[in-house]
Structure 1
Amino acid sequence: MHTHTLAPSTSAVTVRRDYKRAAFASTVGTTVEWYDFFIYAQAAALIFADLFFAPMGGAGQLVAYVTVGISFVFRPLGAVLAGYFGDLIGRKAVLVATLAMMGIATVGIGLLPTYASIGVWAPIALIVLRIVQGFSTGGEWGGAALMSVEHAPPTRRGIFGASTQMGVPLGMLLATATLTLCTVTTTDEQFREWGWRLPFLVSILLIVIGFYIRRRVEESPVFVELSERKQRSHAPVRALLRRHPRQVILAALSFIGTNGNGYMVIGGFLVAYASKTFGLGRTELLIATLASAVVWGAFTLIGAAWSDTAGRTRVMNVGNALLALFAVPFFFMVDTGSLAWIYVALIVFAVGLGLSYGPQPALFAEMFPAAVRYSGASIAYAIGAILGGAFVPTVSQWLLTWTGTTTAIGIYLGVLAVISFAATRAIKDRSGVDLSL
């Protein structure tokens, strides 16, 4: 009798350990990926125009923003390839590969000579490395989301899936803190000369940590079951687009509001705009962004946990509604030129971002069948990123130049949130569905 009851208990402990380890690995891995991504976005806003695009004069800043967005164009390619191999050979191997790829590109940027040293080859090399970052990110999110959601108990997929989403505010927090430390401990001349390179080179340590943790995680139990049943798809992308095009489109559109509005905070535009327009210090603005990242992370967890009881789409649309309603007032607060009001704007903004972002991994996982799930989640995420956040800093800069006011930017971001609200309303909530099917 004693032996009979011991096995299930031991098994239950093992399962709990597996899904907690998977969630932790997703958080660490995506934090490293997004740290690398955000360091670039913030450096592009602060200094890359002078270092790599100086001959373009005033247009250099616009081109620097374009390089932030250009990586998004290559996300779908990364998503297609990662989805193909993730659905064919497993989630784990692909996640290790994407992490290594991102690390190599980030360290390469930190070692890159500037325009003053090698001329036009400097911006060309910078763009190539940025494309590699985009390719890697395109394959990263889907795999990390599925590893956490497919390991989780059915009634807690929202909160465990949020471990993937936490990589964004944590990566942003880490990137902004590192960049802030560099700006505080160096003079403007030192930062321009070599200080900007340090956050990129720090990525070496983060990659090693992330790589070690990911290697220790077991393969997704859903993928293992598919393999044992010999139900893996050998053409997952083709099967996805032939049988589930509506889900891909709706999932992508449900994400553009969060992604577009999020990149107003993390894409570097706000820091560059407020520092140049109102003469506010870069360090003070970066610290305000840190405060926003903390709130974003907190409400990502709140939104994810809430979705486990109230449903994914309902919670996401509370966030989308807040983003739509606050987009224009956000810039009214920023345009006061007061650091205190900018803090308020960023913190309120982060509430809507978190609520719309937290339930997303569970929602995407539950929208697609197991055999094409990696492809479906990754491709929908990548398309949503292009339509939403890819060129938000660039479009915002263009709207500001064209209209002379930030109101147009607020309307643009509000429209993105409204589109996501409508798309999310059209998605059937399938919370708790059997993920092995």
Structure 2
Amino acid sequence: MVFSAALMGLATLGIALLPDYAQIGLWATWGLLLLRMAQGLALGGEINTSAMFLVEHHPHRVLLAGALVAAGGAFGMFIGSALATLLQYISLPEVWRIIFALVGFVSLWVCHLRKQLQESPEFRKNQLPMAGIWRRYWRGFVNIAAIAFFVSITVYICNVFWVSFAIDRQLWSEKACAWTGSLAQLASALLAIPIAYFAKPKQVYHLMRASMLLAIITAPALFYFTLQAKTVGVLIAITGYALTNALICASLYYLLYLQLPAQYRCRGVSTIWAIAAGLGAVGLPIAEQATIMKIFWLPGLLVAMTVTLCFILLSNYQYQFGYSTNDKMTEGL
């Protein structure tokens, strides 16, 4: 996490200070690309290791500990998209640099804070060699990949891409579409906390599978109603997406925690998540190309089909590592 926070802070500060195209030409484009890649690499390690750290330190509130991180991520998406929308009202062209600089300094401050914290007791007592990890824990890796792919493609298509799709289809005004996507993220963050608080840890697989079933229904409905300009249908579907994301936030990090033993958990989850989430992000250009070709039904169907596959994988390979009554590592459900 120290490395991830430092990399995120330095990359974000780099973007804030990067000269524009008028000053350095193509070097600005390549510089921005490399810095964004660094941010993506840092994000996979930063948020996952933070969540694993909290879950390991709070064995009696595992769902809530993980949900706080995931809800924080959803709330961060709300803040980011809300700021982007608000910037449309501000005429200062360089104000975004100030925001990036502030975020960069916050990331470096987080790096400083993490260096002062100790590893969890569970991690310290399970320092074992890495030999045979892929062969021994392949079911856990399959689950991590399925979950990451599901979360990535659902958020990218049903939130990020949907906003631009709704604007292009002139569903509402540009600002109204942007605010709708932002408020959906806020609603999911607010719903996730009570769900995680009242749910039991043994229900974590049920929560994730319920979110997948909702996504399978919600994604095609969201794009269908947007295409038909049916406001009531869109609002119902976007509410379904918010509930889907809330269930994801409530269950995500405890479920990832269960897939690997402590000595492999942070590195294993971060690595597999980065790969699978990157593959899920490929759905974004596919959806964009589909709309260019006027295949408007494809984005929603793409989500439904891929999430169905993830649902099948998660149902077939339930796997668990965690605390038992005598505080030893156990596996199986």
If the length of structure 1 is used for normalisation, what is the TM-score? 0.68
Give the Cα separation in 2 of the matches to 1:344 and 1:213: 42
Residue matched to 1:428:
318
Structure 1: where are the runs of 5+ without partners? 1-94
1:251 match: 144
Flag the 1:248–1:336 CA change in 2: closer, same or farther, 3 A.
Answer: same
Distance verdict in 2 for CA 1:344–1:115, change over 3 Å:
farther
Match of 1:407 in 2: 297
Partner of 1:34: none
* Mapped partners of 1:269, 1:385: distance in 2: 16
Q: How does 1:168-317 map to 2 (within 5 A)?
A: 168-186=73-91, 190=92, 193-207=93-107, 210-211=110-111, 213-226=113-126, 231-233=127-129, 236=130, 239-266=132-159, 268-278=160-170, 280-305=172-197, 307-317=199-209
Residue type matched to 1:320 in 2?
A: M
- Could you tell me whether the CA contact under 8 Å between 1:301 and 1:358 is conserved in 2? yes
Per-residue deviation at 1:422?
0.8
Contact 2:214 2:240 (C-alpha < 8 Å) held by counterparts:
no
Q: Distance in 1 between matches of 2:309 and 2:162?
A: 23
Change (3 A) 1:116 1:273: farther
CA contact (8 A) 2:67 2:196 kept: yes
Is 1:394 the equivalent of 2:298?
Answer: no
Structure 1's 373 and 431: CA in aligned 2 closer, same or farther, altered over 3 A? closer
Superposed CA deviations along residues 241-265 of structure 1, whole A, max 9, x for unmatched, are 2321232023211332222111124
RMSD: 2.5
* Structure 2 equivalent of residue 17 of structure 1: none
| Match in the other structure for 2:56 | 150
The equivalent position to 1:167 in structure 2, one of 64, 72, 77, is: 72
- Runs (4+) of structure 1 exceeding 6 A deviation are none
Give the aligned residue type for 2:292.
T
Distance across 2 between alignment mates of 1:217 and 1:336: 53
Deviation of residue 310 (structure 1)? 4.8
Query: How far does residue 317 in structure 1 lie from its aligned partner after superposition?
Result: 0.6
Correspondences of 1:323-362 after superposition (within 5 Å) = 323-337=215-229, 342-362=234-254
CA, structure 1 residues 338+428, in 2 after alignment: closer, same or farther (shift >3 Å)?
closer
Confirm or deny: 8 A CA contact 1:311 1:429 kept in the other structure.
no
Q: How has the CA–CA distance of structure 1 residues 271 and 338 changed in structure 2, closer, same or farther, with 3 Å as cutoff?
A: same
Does the 8 Å CA contact 2:257/2:321 hold for their aligned counterparts? no
| Aligned partner letter, 1:252 | A
Higher normalized helix content (fraction of residues): 1
CA distance in 1, matches of 2:215, 2:251: 16
SS in 1 for 2:88: helix
Change (3 A) 1:199 1:119: same
- The offset of 1:141, in angstroms, is 3.0
Which of residues 266, 270, 290 is equivalent to 1:378?
270
Give TM-score, length-normalised by structure 2: 0.87
Alignment of structure 1 residues 57-136 onto 2, 5 Å: 95-136=1-42
CA distances 1:328-356 after superposition (whole Å, capped 9, x unpaired): 11112222446676444322211112213
Instruction: Decide whether aligned partners of structure 1 residues 260 and 223 sit closer, same or farther in structure 2, where only a CA change above 3 A counts.
Output: same
Residues 343 and 103 from structure 1, CA distance in 2 versus in 1: closer, same or farther, beyond 3 angstroms?
farther
Going from structure 1 to structure 2, the CA distance change for 1:312 and 1:377 (only over 3 Å counts) comes to same
- Are 2:260 and 2:320, in contact at CA under 8 Å, matched by a contact in 1? no
Distance in 1 separating the partners of 2:173 and 2:116: 43
1-side partners of 2:62 and 2:311: how far apart? 22
Identity of aligned residues (%): 24
The amino acid across from 1:218 in the alignment is Q
Asked if structure 2 preserves the Cα contact closer than 8 Å seen for 1:240 and 1:375, the reply is no
SS in 2 for 1:166: helix
Given the superposition, is the C-alpha separation of residues 243 and 220 from structure 1 closer, same or farther in structure 2, using an over 3 Å criterion? same
How many corresponding residue pairs?
327
Distance 1:212 1:416 in 2: 39
Q: Which of the two has higher C-alpha Rg?
A: 1
